[in-house]
Structure 1
């Protein structure tokens, strides 16, 4: 049986310790989910395009809608981003026990305050940051505060009060065990599908077999 102390040590091992790596992860992901509280007290969760810039999360929105009403009524919000890395079937760990199935993932959760940006220059900077993230090839005119389109959209800014990241990508396994799991993933997913999963796990392949497992620390 896992003791409380051992459990807490394992939980700490799953934490992303580097703020820079949390931010890098946020801006590598295409969709985040913002949670606000509606007028009846229920959480409303909405998927949104977003960018981390200047110490906050920025999103653009239609200037009217329930989520904006929620945020004006109660600015406390949650924001979550996650990446599903790989499902691990139960038979990787036990021949018949279905409860042993597991998942590799990375996630970041933010608790903070939402504000609607009114300053035209800040709105333009946020919109340009969003464009730089999602349209990396360019081929657009940068937005400026005086452009009408900047004033036609709402910009939501989430100022973090608390930001925490978690990752479970096999870093809690010994190197030999990680390589064993990597071989299972190759056999189940096929080599080409497995390669991006193994890359996240810090594992390289040679001649179709897992070869090296780097130390993982985020």
Structure 2
């Protein structure tokens, strides 16, 4: 199997899980000069669509009004793998473990008040899960003060690289190097890779297949 196939996220549930966890996505629209404009946005993935809230005026809204075809992506760098993990001299061996989702879709502005309320409350539930707020209702005037952009995906592709392209022995060697480097993200990365420290011994307890 080609490497690109090994790196593909085949589970839609894993893609949804990733999108629900990520706080920043990027929407790409086409401006009046034909150039892509990329904007980082908060977002929520609901009912197989992406929702974002925005001011009622702005360049991205104008872009979407003129051309509703957009791109969207979210990504997470899990761990940078320095080249010296493989060779103390060859910089070309530097690598990165990551997760990413890329969407091509059709953007629209939500006008139905019930759907707009659903999206805005979904954003609040995602970004403020501890609560301490009153959910919005569809008859509130505040709904008129914001735009809600909806992207209906036409294609949705996910990729992940957590060592699944390596042999079990090579993955263990890599995991030990990540643990030894002890970056701020090391333990989280190792857990995603399927490793845990048990009684001080790094052990693969899972074979993640996405």
Q: TM-score per shorter chain, which class?
A: over 0.9
Q: Is residue 139 from structure 1 mapped to residue 132 from structure 2 by the alignment?
A: yes
Deviation at 1:207, TM superposition (A): 4.3
For residues 212 and 125 of structure 1, the distance between their equivalents in structure 2, rounded to whole angstroms, comes to 41
- Contact 2:79-2:186 at 8 Å conserved across structures: no
Gaps of 5+ in 1: 1-5
Runs of 4+ more than 4 Å apart: none
- Contact 2:79-2:96 at 8 Å conserved across structures: yes
Scaled by the length of structure 2, the TM-score of the pair is 0.96
- Contact 1:179-1:213 at 8 Å conserved across structures: no
Gaps of 5+ in 2: none
1:42-57 map, 5 Å: 42-57=35-50
Q: What is aligned with 2:192?
A: 200
Q: Is residue 104 from structure 1 mapped to residue 97 from structure 2 by the alignment?
A: yes
Q: What is aligned with 1:124?
A: 117
- Contact 1:178-1:213 at 8 Å conserved across structures: no
* Cα deviation code 1:13-49 (max 9, x no counterpart): 0000011110111010000000001101111000000
For residues 28 and 185 of structure 2, the distance between their equivalents in structure 1, rounded to whole angstroms, comes to 33
1:158-173 map, 5 Å: 158-173=151-166
Scaled by the length of structure 1, the TM-score of the pair is 0.93
Q: Bigger CA drift: 37-46 or 203-212? A: 203-212
Q: Is residue 26 from structure 1 mapped to residue 29 from structure 2 by the alignment?
A: no
For residues 77 and 101 of structure 2, the distance between their equivalents in structure 1, rounded to whole angstroms, comes to 12
- Contact 1:60-1:127 at 8 Å conserved across structures: yes
- Contact 1:75-1:113 at 8 Å conserved across structures: yes
Q: What is aligned with 1:216?
A: 208
Q: What is aligned with 2:148?
A: 155
For residues 96 and 213 of structure 1, the distance between their equivalents in structure 2, rounded to whole angstroms, comes to 33
